[in-house]
């Protein structure tokens, strides 16, 4: 008889966004005339840049010719894209990363979920609390998280690093020695960023104890404050202890087109084995590459027109973030994030539980948010709003929230 991977059965049932969808659906059924504004889910709404569309059209035409047809591409990504990424995202910014250290993929979600394949099940894993749930669930699926404690809302074997207003939502190095450390800056869900000094402390720690930092910088394009690092590899010593995940999803609206990449420096080794080689082996076995058309589209993000157009869209979202942030502050809420990040993290009034405030905003303001408690125990007492909506809808949502508060 075949047996299942019982780790999957341990996963808690109700997923955050399905519970939100359920409550929204129930409310809509009861109140079909009400117009809801959704500032909950982190998907983008602006179209792909014209330069990207043009490049994709051209690639589609090529695919229809004998000379221009592309079948299976390299599992690591086409050289043209790996070179463009290395140059524009790293070398031009003074960061030492080469094309051979870049692995193009169909998403940062897949990569930060799949990376667990190359690490021993014995590693002690540290995650921020609140956290992007993928890091937690993928470690649970592969047997590294222990048992789920429903009352605590935590896995017994994971090390949770609270990110609270006391530490400006940046975690402290845990007292227990850890082996794999997930860091995400700018952070989802809190919108916090990490300074050079904070990241340096993590890099020094990881090099000292032999840990590996799994650095998710899916939102780096939103950073505008000078001096805030966009990449872990801006930090001296990171090449021997860090892996970085990046994505075209939020940078350039590729959530539906699917393109991302992972950076693994050549000198990163554990147990005397190169992690770049291990990941290459993993990808070549389980992954057959990103479509040629998509990679040509991603390459166009780096063209002069592409850069300008993408920057315009980012400015659009940044303006939404400003509107939400300033509007909620004016409504009397305590707010963080929303400056170098598309996420605004707001404290609920009068210590109201996240889900209660979510319901109040849904029912009284007809605005859909995300309850912070869904991202981990330290998210209790907060809600997350995103800047990815339309400009008009965002302004309207903030005005409604101000009215009811």
Report the first-to-last Cα separation within the chain, whole angstroms.
Answer: 59
Count CB-CB contacts under 10 A for residue 156: 10
Residues whose CB is less than 8 angstroms from the CB of residue 322 and which lie 6 or more positions away in sequence, other chains included: 338
Among 37, 81, 108, 252, which residue interacts with ligand PLP (rule: CB under 6 A)? 108
**Nearest C-alpha neighbor of 7 from the set 107, 139, 105:** 139
Among 38, 109, 154, 325, which residue interacts with ligand PLP (rule: CB under 6 A)? 109
The DSSP-derived string for 340-353 is SSSEEEEEPGGG--
> What whole-number distance in Å separates Cα of residue 400 and Cα of residue 364?
9
Rounded least distance, CB 2 to ligand PLP, Å: 30
Near ligand PLP by CB under 6 A, which window of 102-110, 317-325, 363-371, 390-398?
102-110
Q: Is 261 helix (H, G, I), strand (E, B) or coil?
A: strand
Among 76, 114, 231, 249, which residue interacts with ligand PLP (rule: CB under 6 A)? 249
Rounded least distance, CB 397 to ligand PLP, Å: 20
Q: According to the binding rule CB under 6 A, does residue 184 interact with ligand PLP? A: yes
Q: According to the binding rule CB under 6 A, does residue 394 interact with ligand PLP? A: no
Q: According to the binding rule CB under 6 A, does residue 45 interact with ligand PLP? A: no
Q: According to the binding rule CB under 6 A, does residue 247 interact with ligand PLP? A: yes
> What whole-number distance in Å separates Cα of residue 122 and Cα of residue 374?
27
Q: Is 376 exposed, middle or buried (0-12, 13-18, 19+ CB in 10 A)?
A: buried
Alpha helices in 257-376 (DSSP H): 275-286, 292-300, 304-330, 354-360
Near ligand PLP by CB under 6 A, which window of 10-18, 86-94, 101-109, 164-172?
101-109
Rounded least distance, CB 184 to ligand PLP, Å: 5
Q: According to the binding rule CB under 6 A, does residue 218 interact with ligand PLP? A: yes
- Residue 131 tokens read as 């956290």
Q: According to the binding rule CB under 6 A, does residue 216 interact with ligand PLP? A: yes
Q: According to the binding rule CB under 6 A, does residue 130 interact with ligand PLP? A: no
Q: According to the binding rule CB under 6 A, does residue 255 interact with ligand PLP? A: yes
Q: According to the binding rule CB under 6 A, does residue 38 interact with ligand PLP? A: no
Rounded least distance, CB 293 to ligand PLP, Å: 17
Residues 319-378 within binding reach of ligand PLP (CB under 6 A): none
Residues whose CB is less than 8 angstroms from the CB of residue 199 and which lie 6 or more positions away in sequence, other chains included: 183, 185, 229, 232, 234, 235, 238
Q: According to the binding rule CB under 6 A, does residue 186 interact with ligand PLP? A: no
Q: By the 8 A CB rule, do 294 and 258 touch?
A: yes
> What whole-number distance in Å separates Cα of residue 385 and Cα of residue 401?
12
Closest to ligand PLP by CB, 214 vs 235, is: 214
> What whole-number distance in Å separates Cα of residue 231 and Cα of residue 217?
7
Closest to ligand PLP by CB, 189 vs 327, is: 189
Q: According to the binding rule CB under 6 A, does residue 42 interact with ligand PLP? A: yes
Closest to ligand PLP by CB, 24 vs 134, is: 134
The DSSP-derived string for 61-87 is HHHTSTTT---S--TT--HHHHHHHII
Contact map string, positions 258 to 287, toward ligand PLP, x by CB under 6 A = --x---------------------------
Bridge-based pairing state of the strands 148-149 and 154-155: antiparallel
Rounded least distance, CB 113 to ligand PLP, Å: 9
Closest to ligand PLP by CB, 112 vs 401, is: 112
Closest to ligand PLP by CB, 118 vs 214, is: 214
H or E element, residue 207: helix 196-209
Rounded least distance, CB 109 to ligand PLP, Å: 3
Closest to ligand PLP by CB, 75 vs 220, is: 220
Rounded least distance, CB 189 to ligand PLP, Å: 8
Closest to ligand PLP by CB, 189 vs 265, is: 189
Residue nearest to ligand PLP (CB): 107
Count residues near ligand PLP (CB under 6 A).
13
Cis geometry, peptide bond prior to residue 186 (ω within 30 degrees of 0): yes
Q: Is 161 helix (H, G, I), strand (E, B) or coil?
A: strand
* Residues of the shown chain interacting with ligand PLP in the complex, contacts defined by CB under 6 A: 42, 107-109, 132, 184, 188, 216, 218, 247, 249, 255, 260
């Amino acid at each position: 008889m075949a047996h299942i991977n019982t780790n999957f059965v341990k996963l808690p049932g109700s997923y955050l966004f399905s519970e939100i969808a359920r409550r929204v659906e129930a409310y809509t059924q009861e109140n079909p005339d009400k117009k809801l504004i959704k500032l909950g889910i982190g998907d983008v709404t602006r179209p792909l840049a014209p330069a990207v569309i043009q490049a994709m059209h051209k690639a589609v035409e090529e695919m229809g010719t004998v000379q221009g047809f592309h079948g299976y591409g390299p599992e690591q990504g086409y050289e043209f894209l790996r070179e463009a990424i290395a140059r524009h995202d790293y070398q031009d910014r003074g960061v030492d990363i080469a094309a051979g250290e870049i692995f193009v993929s169909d998403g940062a979600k897949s990569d930060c979920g799949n990376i667990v394949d190359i690490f021993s099940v014995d590693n002690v894993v540290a995650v921020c609390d609140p956290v992007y749930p993928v890091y937690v669930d993928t470690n649970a699926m592969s047997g590294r998280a222990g048992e789920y404690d429903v009352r605590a809302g935590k896995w017994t074997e994971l090390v949770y690093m609270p990110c609270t207003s006391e530490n400006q939502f940046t975690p402290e190095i845990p007292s227990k020695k850890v082996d794999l450390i997930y860091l995400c800056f700018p952070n989802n869900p809190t919108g916090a960023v990490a300074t050079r000094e904070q990241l340096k402390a993590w890099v020094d720690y990881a090099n000292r104890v032999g840990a590996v930092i799994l650095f998710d910088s899916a939102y780096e394009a939103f950073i505008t404050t000078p001096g805030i690092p966009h990449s872990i590899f801006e930090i001296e010593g990171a090449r021997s202890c860090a892996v970085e995940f990046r994505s075209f999803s939020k940078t350039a609206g590729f959530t539906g087109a699917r393109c991302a990449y992972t950076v693994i420096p050549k000198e990163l080794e554990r147990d005397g084995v190169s992690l770049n080689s291990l990941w290459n082996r993993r990808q070549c076995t389980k992954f057959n590459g990103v479509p040629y058309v998509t990679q040509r589209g991603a390459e166009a993000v780096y063209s002069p027109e592409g850069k300008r157009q993408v920057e315009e869209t980012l400015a659009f979202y940044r303006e939404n973030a400003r509107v939400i942030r300033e509007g909620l502050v004016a409504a009397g809420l305590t707010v963080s994030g929303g400056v170098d990040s598309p996420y605004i993290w707001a404290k609920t009034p009068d210590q109201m539980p996240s889900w209660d405030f979510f319901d109040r905003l849904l029912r009284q303001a007809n605005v859909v948010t995300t309850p912070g408690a869904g991202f981990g125990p330290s998210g209790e007492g907060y809600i997350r709003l995103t800047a990815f909506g339309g400009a008009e809808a965002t302004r309207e949502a903030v005005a409604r929230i101000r009215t009811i508060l």
